[in-house]
Structure 1
Amino acid sequence: MKIKVMVAAHKEFPMPENKNLYLPVLVGATKNYKEGIDYQRDDVGENISLKNPNFNELTAVYWAWKNLDADAIGLVHYRRLFSKGGKRELDNILNKEQIEQLLEEAPIVLPKKRKYYIESNYSHYVHAHPEEPLDVTRDVIAEKYPRYLNAFDQVMHKTSAHMFNMFIMKKKEFNQYSEWLFDVLFKVEDRIDISGYSVQDARVFGFLSERLMDVWIEANNKKYVEEKWIQLGERKIMLKALNLIKRKFIKDSKKKITHF
């Protein structure tokens, strides 16, 4: 099985040694390229590299969908990778044999779900980002993909999700997911104005896709397996938890969340 796991990066960073399995991809290559970065660029062939400030690592996904030939395609990040657990080191990430074993169990590998406990997926999103894009996403799904609407509402009610836009999929599933995902996101893009968003909030389509993965999985009853992941460097878990609580209660005091 020919497997390619893209490692999305916007700068030079230590990469996995197995170049036959792991493919470093410079996202937003047109703007981020610096002499000496020997990564696959996301601005060759059919691409949306210039959309990187708004689509994040999805520009690598789009490039792979249109240009990469493999039996299975995955996406991880330069600091966040699939692993069997243990030390947070590059030597401890999944190898080809382990990925093949996982793909024998199911055609899709996802990171273990992130649990929010005190938040639904919808409230977690709107406490961190402008809510209009997520509401418009629901409108697009209701109009263009009504079969997915029940799955969307169910996912928004849940308090856990497969996050980070990380996955490994067999080519059939990867193509199906990419076709649906980008059709939805491009339609949302046509309907919202993000010109006044901050640099962080302008990364909106990458944030939306994190919520849409489970929608696609559930609507199509796709079988998947979960795998552990590691993050290289400091994770700052306590700071993230405090920011989550801060966003929740400060925003709740300013407005009432009426959806989901």
Structure 2
Amino acid sequence: MKEKKENQNPSIKILVGYHKPAELLKDDILTPIHLGRALATEASKDGNISKDDYKWMCENMIGDDTGDNISYLNRCLNELTGIYWAWKNYDKLGNPDYIGFMHYRRHFIFDNNFTNSLQLNGDGYSYIININKQYFEYIGFEKYINLIKQYDVILPKLFNCNQVIEKPHTFTTCKDFLCLWNGNQLSAYKLFIFIITHLDRYKMYSSLVNEIDQNTVYYPYNMFIMKKDIFFKYCNFLFEVVFLLNDILGYDVSKRDVWTRRELAWVSEYISTLFFYTVKHKYETDIGMINFNNVFKVNNKTNDSENFYSAVKVVQNHLSYKIGKAIINAKTFKLKFLLPLTLLKIIKHHRLEYQIYSCLIELNPGLKRYSLESYSDYEEALKIKNYFSYKLGNLIIKHPFTFIFRLPQILRRYKQ
């Protein structure tokens, strides 16, 4: 690999998240990504998209449903499915020095003179913009590369909940704001605070989380531009916490309507804020929001939550399944070589999930999961438990030191 010359500009890729057709932002830096492509035929908060719209999105942008992905979780995690895809498929973006994320209707604006000429949005924070040729000149990232490379992270300016122009009362905390404006759902937020303050692995964040819990400011929208190494640290922290929340609350959250089902995504903004507080060398800038007149109608009859969490999902969360799947998927030399570390990581994460789940059950027995038999897809779950991969994982858990001697018995059974 050729070394980058000292005076050469760093490579930058900024993902622009879309879940429906809109003005296409695409150049050497801006990379549009279709969020939730695995669920494209199902309704989002803005309703359904047509076959022609879906075709247009497939032709003009990458999807978050290739390689290692969580596209199927998009209705609950929103833009996080695109951020996760970038993390796990970084080489497909050209391995850039800087990586960013913004939304199709929310953009970074670095020109203060331009924002001074704009009208504030109803949130009292972002600026209303109209797409035209002049606007593209203002948000052209190429002329701001020198600014970007001076910092570790570029972020939106801190949002104060009390900036909202039309609010029923003065907010005292972010929790108060989240509760009122996002559907009166606080289970994920409370669990997030509980995890950070009670688990030793997050001790370095415990004092910082109080700044979020006791104040009214945070970094909104999960928007950023950051150095590659910091991005990987950010994703490791963000998704470890988000997946813990989803493993514990995912079933209940999936049963909600299309709006309040997004609670985990909303709370992820506070998780991101917590990480960004630890970054010292950062730059904050304004956010512009496109003025849309046409809004998709929501099809309230569409309910994909029934199949979102099920007996199959429960079984796939069993340690036996995770271990067996990891072993079966280790087909290359590299994956086989790293397999011991992979299994240790899986076991460690699973134990952490169980520790949190046990604490929650003690606090609230009503959170205990249903038995497999109570799910409509119980028979499908039984089939998975009879897979060779599941049996292999279960054998290793029960007999970690002697499983190799018992393996032929399982193999004979599957050869019959």
Note closer, same or farther for the CA distance 1:195–1:60 as it changes in structure 2 (3 Å cut).
Answer: closer
Q: Is the 8 A contact 2:153 2:279 kept in 1?
A: no
Report the Cα distance in structure 2 between the residues aligned to 1:130 and 1:94, rounded to whole angstroms.
Answer: 38
**Greater CA deviation, 120-129 or 185-194?**
120-129
Residue 204 of structure 2 corresponds to: 147
- Displacement of 1:221: 4.2
Which piece of structure 1 moves more, 197-206 or 40-49? 197-206
- Alignment partner, residue 218 of structure 2: 161
**Take 1:111 and 1:226, find their aligned partners in 2: how far apart are those partners?**
5
Identical aligned residues as a percent: 27
1:2 pairs with 2:20: no
Residue 54 (str. 1) matches residue 76 (str. 2): yes
CA distance in 2, matches of 1:222, 1:15: 33
Match of 2:6 in 1: none
Question: Could you list the per-position Cα deviations for residues 143-184 of structure 1 after superposition, in whole angstroms to 9, with x for gaps in the alignment?
Answer: 241221211111121222210111111101111101100000
Calculate the aligned-residue CA RMSD, in Å: 1.8
Aligned-pair distance for 1:30? 1.5
- Asked whether the equivalents of residues 82 and 94 of structure 1 are also in contact (C-alpha less than 8 Å), the reply is no
Counterparts of 1:150-189 in structure 2, within 5 Å, are 150-189=207-246
The corresponding residue for 1:108 is: 153
Match of 1:209 in 2: 268
What is the alpha-carbon distance in structure 1 between the residues aligned to residue 75 and residue 161 of structure 2? 27
Inter-partner Cα distance in structure 2 for 1:230 and 1:221: 24
Deviation at 1:130, TM superposition (A): 0.8
- Distance in 2, matches of 1:102 and 1:148, equals 29
Counterpart in 2 of 1:36? Answer: 56
Structure 2 residue 113 is the aligned partner of structure 1 residue 67: no
Residues 11 and 32, structure 1, Cα contact 8 Å, conserved in 2:
no
Quick check: 1:114–1:160 contact (8 Å CA) kept in 2?
yes
The TM-score, its normalising length taken from structure 2, stands at 0.53
SS of alignment partner, residue 194 of structure 1:
helix
- Separation (CA, whole Å) in 2 of partners of 1:194 and 1:234: 29
Shift of 1:105: 3.0
Q: SS of the counterpart of 2:253?
A: coil
Residue aligning to 1:97: 143
Partner residue in 2 for 1:124: 177
What displacement does 1:103 show?
A: 2.5
2:32: which partner in 1?
A: 24
Contact 2:33 2:61 in 1 (8 A): yes
Deviation by residue 1:66-98 (Cα, 9 ceiling, x = unmatched): 112211111110011011244623412141231
Q: Which consecutive segments of 4 or more residues in structure 1 shift more than 6 A?
A: none
Q: Give the superposition deviation at 1:231.
A: 0.7
Aligned equivalents of 1:93, 1:145: Cα separation in 2: 37
TM-score, length basis structure 1: 0.83
Q: How many residues align?
A: 232
Amino acid at match of 2:36: G
Comparing 108-117 with 139-148, which one deviates more in the overlay? 139-148
The one-character-per-residue Cα deviations of 1:118-161 (angstroms, maximum 9, x if unpaired) are 22212111223411110111122232412212111111212222
Gaps of 5+ in 1: 236-260
Aligned in 2, Cα 1:23/1:221: closer, same or farther, shift over 3 Å? closer
Counterpart-to-counterpart distance in 2, 1:147 and 1:194: 29
Q: Which is higher, the Rg of structure 1 or of structure 2?
A: 2
User: In 2, Cα distance between the equivalents of 1:102 and 1:77?
Assistant: 21
User: What amino acid maps onto 2:143 in structure 1?
Assistant: E
SS in 2 for 1:199: coil
Structure 2 CA distance for partners of 1:169 and 1:207, relative to 1, 3 Å: same
Q: Is the 8 A contact 2:69 2:81 kept in 1?
A: yes
Q: Does 1:229 align with 2:287?
A: yes
Aligned to 2:259, which of 200, 212, 215?
A: 200
Higher share of residues assigned helix: 2
- How far apart are 1:234 and its partner, in Å? 5.0
TM-aligned CA deviation for residue 197 of structure 1: 2.0
Q: Give the distance between the partners of 1:147 and 1:223, measured in 2 at CA.
A: 18
